[in-house]
A and B are shown apart, each in its own frame.
Chain A
Amino acid sequence: MARSAKAVPWFVFAAGGTVIAFILPVMVFVTGLAPAIGLFGDALSYETMHAFVSNWLIKLILLGIIGLAAWHAAHRLRVCAHDFGIRADGPVSIAVYGLAGIATLLTIIALLMI
């Protein structure tokens, strides 16, 4: 038996899981829950958000968070599929990591457009 390459996606999964463990709850709060109760209205206005995201450091941070979250979710979904009895690990891996790759690419494109 050879050393498995599963080490690589697992490493990214662990990094992504750690990042979103710290930042996801507050991000969800800010983007969806706070505006619903009238908080942070100014922060989410077009002018403020556009100025905020135009900053290159913010772009890098957002790319890091979204990218890592996407790859974390992808690897976990691959494991989930196996746990739910779906035994086609090859096609499942291609599908989930492919989607994560597309998500990362789209994020880069959107950030470059801002």
Chain B
Amino acid sequence: MSRKPYHREMSKTTWFLKQSRYQHYMLHEISSIFVAIYVGVLIVGLFRLAQGPDAWAGWLAAVTSPIGVIFHIIVFIFAIIHTTSWFKAVPQAMRIQRGEEIVPGKLIIGAHYGVWAAVSVVVLLVAGVA
């Protein structure tokens, strides 16, 4: 009896377009591109801060320009995508057993959002009173 198993090939470059779950995965993966660019923007900002008021004003103007705002909106959207996908994954990665029960995922996720809200409020307050 001759066997001739058939191998179906998977596209190495477009596989993630084939299903919505793969598209979702790619969406939070590419958030890293925008995080990287934003990190670059922040580092430039720190250098401009070190170089004096005029340099800093230049950076601030660029960041608040129309292009700067659009860039920030995009980064913000991807930051939210990262936060929501990250928090959703935490109960899977961090399985906490208390006695005979596993701590419910919703509780863990809720706690994370609670901390996120608290941290955000603190930063906003510090920025507000500065």
Contact = CB atoms under 8 A, between A and B. Distances in A.
Contacts of A29: 76, 124
B2 interface: no
B115 to A, nearest CB: 6
A2 interface: no
A20 B12 CA distance: 30
Given A21-B116, A107-B46, A28 B127 contact: no
Contacts of A72: 32, 35
Contacts, number: 147
B35 A73 contact: yes
A20 B119 CA distance: 11
Contacts of A24: 35, 38, 79, 82-83
B49 interface: yes
Interface string A42-86: 111010111011000000001000100110111011011001110
Interface in B50-89: 50-53, 56-57, 60, 63-64, 68-69, 71-73, 75-76, 79-80, 82-83, 86-87
Interface in B105-130: 112, 115-116, 119-120, 123-124, 126-128, 130
A31 B72 contact: yes
A111 interface: yes
A103 to B, nearest CB: 6
B120 A25 contact: yes
Interface of B: 12-13, 16, 26, 29-33, 35-36, 38-40, 42-43, 45-47, 49-53, 56-57, 60, 63-64, 68-69, 71-73, 75-76, 79-80, 82-83, 86-87, 112, 115-116, 119-120, 123-124, 126-128, 130
